[in-house]
Chain A
């Protein structure tokens, strides 16, 4: 087959990390079997257009509670559903699907089942029957994965013996020993170039340093969009919520120093959070590292040649160890995966620690690990402190510590109203774990702690990205639904339309907002009321502004109730070509609102709910029903 990649590709879609764990295990086992080239990728880092050029793909997909695929699969899946792909698009592809689900739910493993069928319909050839992992099984998904993998390797070996030349290693592993880390750390002597680094203060150099640090991280490679677009200064940091129920929603106003921030309504700001200096120091001390050394990270090729393409541009310019840790490794927030505990067990010198770590890494210990690690939001630093006899080499830390991720926020300002400023409306994440430990969101609490009044204050590394909400045309009527912080992008839309209305006619807007009470969390109350008495949200412009206060009366009132109340008006605007935008937290709200909209369409037209639901789906395909939610 000309041009076909001869490798094994493992594509996963993970919501809480389990599918990723499973996928990495598939990759590791194939390497034990001598597979010359294997790559494990998340589906949102793979372009579905290139599927036909692969020869063998293993899909590992989770199904979430509502029967939906994970967020990282949404775009990929939508692509596969296109009618115009045809039934021979994947003719030359061998594949296998393993699903992670829970048979306690009606929609058990729906994502995997649909994927399997669709791949077949597109002409691909299934190597073995799909495997269905079940959380209800005593050993969890491993109960199904172990036998399924064995069957997979045997069948693959029949079809293509060159894929797993050391097949016997899988069937009869000689010794359960730890493989070699995938990367090596190269330490560099101090030179002029490195001396310069320690005095970096110029903005341009800071951006460059961040890019170099992050491009060297294997867990981030290729997926990080380079240098920050801006280093923004926080000029306002204001709490919007009142009252003492502990909720803290804040408005942040950020400005660029040496350039103009260019963005459009509907865009999101990606922020790289700073990590607490004391935590970074504690980590360095615990791992007995030299913070001032200069390093580069290179793939370890060992005896065989690695065919994978790798970490780009890193080997030229070494980076300070401390900088690498603070910009690219998440040491005090994200929880690591099961494999981290497995590797730790090899490096524990205390017997009871070794046993405990092996237990955590085993199928029997899965539940207890879940309790200790995921439910408690245990951080890498905490885990290392709980197992003091473990000395992990830096190579392993680089491979296994979760990467420091950027966080995305919908921008709540219009550049027309606030040139060169970016406004964010952020809820500071906080929760209490089952063991009564307080946990705070890394990025939201870091931003909340930045003080605009201090000079020489910390800057926010930021990127502007297109969000999923298409920019509204001024003559298109809008139905906006955004309870809580979901109102953020709509504040931007309304600011923009108000500006546009000064020079041209604009179409009406119906805005549905929701919060608990008017005194505690009625975000931007004055702004909405001003526009609704005499602006683009006013009755005389044909618009409307509706608020659902959920806790001001006995029964709960939410935005969906308001939508039903305004059924006729909503339909009238929809019939006139309106676009619907829905934003906010992703639990039940989107489903509830969609249900209310279906009822409105059904009622105003005398059709069935099913017809209304189908019509709304068509609206979605046509780009007139847009949803952006976050958890």
Chain B
């Protein structure tokens, strides 16, 4: 494809007079021009692919020229692409506005940044910059902390119904202190402590391990003979889990009749017999 020179013009205003475009030596009829008005509504996201623009011109009323915008300009500009900013400023503000913009462009990775001569009669400043000719990586420099205002993080508006109080303010100093465990007698070991269903502190694993240990020590593996011809010294093995003791080899099985082969339901895990 041939060398198509695409330019993007951005303004926060509602409409842009053609003579403004001509002013920047662009031909509105050339077909290589994209104009976006009311650009604030885009919220700092330009709907263009990376490195798709040769030139970007950003005009005055975009008040804050937030860092975000420069990042977007840099993204859509081709390497060595040109950026021009044009901002209204009274003669009193011109110097400061100019310095600020130059500094912002520099810290956003633009090179060959220069302010055009301050023109008091124009009531405006114009800054030019070029995107580096090498491809920039995806990291961006941190903001210059010295220029920060007090409210560092962006403000988020919320409606009245969503405005809720901070629930931690409902707790007293006493509540926040470590709770007292109830006094448990010496003989009541461990059993009272239980892990919650979705335990994340490790208690559940510890409990499971303890149970497995207990099971290993006490529970004997089931032999084939025990299944075919179940016997029970205590008499309770056939009654079901509710009546079996902790070490019962038949634990986990459905109830059965002594002397008859134990019927497994489909959902049993039995170790190799």
**Do A and B originate from a single complex?**
yes
Q: Is B205 an interface residue (CB 8 A)?
A: no
CB distance from A610 to the nearest CB of B (A): 12
Produce 1/0 per residue, A366-382, CB < 8 A to B.
01001010001010001
Given A505-B47, A540-B50, A621-B162, is A575 in contact with B181 using a C-beta cutoff of 8 Å? no
Given A103-B182, A587-B200, A615-B153, is A138 in contact with B192 using a C-beta cutoff of 8 Å? yes
For the complex, give the distance between the alpha carbons of A396 and B143 in Å: 70
Contact B200 A568 (CB under 8 A): no
CB distance from A502 to the nearest CB of B (A): 13
Partner of B164, one of A352, A621, A624: A621
Partner of A136, one of B182, B211, B269: B182
Contact A575 B49 (CB under 8 A): no
Partner of B45, one of A102, A367, A477, A622: A477
For the complex, give the distance between the alpha carbons of A332 and B142 in Å: 60
For the complex, give the distance between the alpha carbons of A593 and B248 in Å: 45
CB distance from B121 to the nearest CB of A (A): 37
Contact A438 B268 (CB under 8 A): yes
Contact A576 B198 (CB under 8 A): no
Q: Is A594 an interface residue (CB 8 A)?
A: no
Contact B154 A575 (CB under 8 A): yes
Best-surrounded residue of A143, A475, A607 (most CB of chain B within 10 A): A475
Q: Which residues from chain A contact B45 at a C-beta distance below 8 Å?
A: 475, 477, 507-508, 542, 576-577
Contact B211 A434 (CB under 8 A): yes
Q: Is B163 an interface residue (CB 8 A)?
A: yes
CB distance from A354 to the nearest CB of B (A): 12
Produce 1/0 per residue, B107-151, CB < 8 A to A.
000000000000000000000000000000011101001000000
Contact A65 B182 (CB under 8 A): no
Closest B residue to A383 by CB, please name it: B242
Q: How many pairs of A and B residues are in contact by the CB < 8 Å rule? A: 185
Q: Which residues from chain A contact B61 at a C-beta distance below 8 Å?
A: none
For the complex, give the distance between the alpha carbons of A140 and B180 in Å: 15
Best-surrounded residue of A367, A378, A576, A606 (most CB of chain B within 10 A): A576
Q: Which residues from chain A contact B192 at a C-beta distance below 8 Å?
A: 135-138, 140, 367
CB distance from B27 to the nearest CB of A (A): 25
Given A437-B269, A540-B49, A611-B153, is A106 in contact with B164 using a C-beta cutoff of 8 Å? no
Contact B242 A437 (CB under 8 A): no
Closest B residue to A603 by CB, please name it: B142
Of the candidate stretches B2-10, B15-23, B98-106, B249-257, the one touching chain A is B249-257
Q: Which residues from chain A contact B50 at a C-beta distance below 8 Å?
A: 539-540, 542
Q: Is B30 an interface residue (CB 8 A)?
A: no
For the complex, give the distance between the alpha carbons of A367 and B207 in Å: 14
Contact B182 A387 (CB under 8 A): no
Contact B193 A104 (CB under 8 A): yes
Q: Which residues from chain A contact B194 at a C-beta distance below 8 Å?
A: 102, 135, 367, 370
Contact B268 A437 (CB under 8 A): yes
Contact A356 B152 (CB under 8 A): no
Q: Is B75 an interface residue (CB 8 A)?
A: yes
Of the candidate stretches B77-85, B167-175, B226-234, the one touching chain A is B167-175
Contact B181 A136 (CB under 8 A): yes
Q: Which residues from chain B contact A435 at a C-beta distance below 8 Å?
A: 241, 251-252
Q: Is B217 an interface residue (CB 8 A)?
A: no
Contact A621 B158 (CB under 8 A): yes
Given A81-B164, A117-B170, is A607 in contact with B152 using a C-beta cutoff of 8 Å? yes
Partner of B162, one of A372, A588, A622: A622
CB distance from A27 to the nearest CB of B (A): 24
Produce 1/0 per residue, A117-147, CB < 8 A to B.
1100100000000000011111010010000
Q: Which residues from chain A contact B142 at a C-beta distance below 8 Å?
A: 604, 606
Closest B residue to A476 by CB, please name it: B43
Contact A65 B43 (CB under 8 A): no
Q: Is B31 an interface residue (CB 8 A)?
A: no
Contact A601 B170 (CB under 8 A): no
CB distance from A411 to the nearest CB of B (A): 24
Q: Is A59 an interface residue (CB 8 A)?
A: no
Q: Is A66 an interface residue (CB 8 A)?
A: yes
Best-surrounded residue of B139, B163, B268 (most CB of chain A within 10 A): B163
Q: Is B1 an interface residue (CB 8 A)?
A: no
Produce 1/0 per residue, A427-471, CB < 8 A to B.
000001111111110000000000000000000000000000000
For the complex, give the distance between the alpha carbons of A611 and B152 in Å: 10
Q: Which residues from chain B contact A110 at a C-beta distance below 8 Å?
A: 171, 175
For the complex, give the distance between the alpha carbons of A541 and B201 in Å: 41
Residues of B in contact with A (beta carbons under 8 Å apart): 42-45, 47, 49-50, 67-68, 71, 75, 138-140, 142, 145, 152-154, 156-158, 160-165, 167, 170-172, 175, 178-182, 184-185, 188, 191-194, 196-201, 208, 211, 215, 239-243, 251-252, 254-255, 267-270
16 A-B residue pairings within 8 Å (CB atoms): A65-B200, A66-B200, A103-B181, A103-B182, A114-B170, A135-B193, A136-B193, A138-B184, A386-B240, A437-B269, A438-B268, A508-B45, A572-B140, A615-B156, A622-B156, A622-B162
Given contacts A114-B167, A540-B49, 13 further A-B contacts (CB under 8 A): A82-B164, A83-B163, A110-B171, A135-B192, A382-B254, A386-B255, A437-B269, A475-B43, A542-B50, A576-B44, A615-B156, A624-B156, A631-B197
